[in-house]
Amino acid sequence: MVDVHTREQRTYNMAQIRSRDTKPELVLRKELFALGFRYRLHVPGLPGTPDLVFPGRQKVVFVNGCFWHSHSCKYGRVQPATRHDYWASKRSETVARDARKQMALEVMGWRVLTVWECELRALDQAIFKVTEFLDS
């Protein structure tokens, strides 16, 4: 299947994708703040610069996009129509890097939770999962 965008349009679109302050992250942050949880954002001294850091609780939360981090849901299983080898390599490297960063955080004594973009579609369940993690 041929891409519907020109190479320049595709390059522009991909360059606009952010790694911080994504819509799923903002939704989760807003809900947690409203519930009284306070956190630090993207602490650079921690492996992987977690999206939400709860220093007093020694806990961190990553909000991952399903496609980019190869989640097992239908959104994470999508295969790009072009440059299969490039995308397979890029996504597998992302998964490996995520595992390394999580292990490094756990060795440092941090507890880690990953919230997937697809989980935020059922926001109440996702908030329950995160609050259970933070209160445990």
The enclosing domain of 34 has a CATH number of 3.40.960.10
DSSP 119: G
Is 11 a member of any domain?
no
10 assigned to some structural domain: no
Query: Domain for residue 119, yes or no?
Result: yes
Does residue 38 lie in a domain region?
Answer: yes
In a domain, 7, yes or no: no
How is residue 71 written in tokens?
């989640």
CA of residue 40 relative to chain centroid, distance: 16
Give the domain extent around 29: 19-135
* pLDDT beyond 80 at 10: no
Task: Work out the average pLDDT over 85-114.
Answer: 95
Q: Which of 111, 29, 98 is nearest to 64 (CA)?
A: 98
Asked, for residue 6, whether it belongs to a domain, the answer is no
Specify if 115 maps to a domain.
yes
Whether residue 1 is predicted with pLDDT greater than 70 in this model: the reply is no
Q: How far is the first Cα of the chain from the last one, in angstroms, to the nearest whole number?
A: 48
Domain count, the chain: 1
Indicate whether 2 belongs to any domain: no
Mean pLDDT is lowest, of 9-13, 34-38, 89-93, for: 9-13
pLDDT for the residue 2: 64
Q: What pLDDT is attached to residue 51?
A: 95
Q: Give the mean model confidence (pLDDT) for residues 78-85.
A: 85
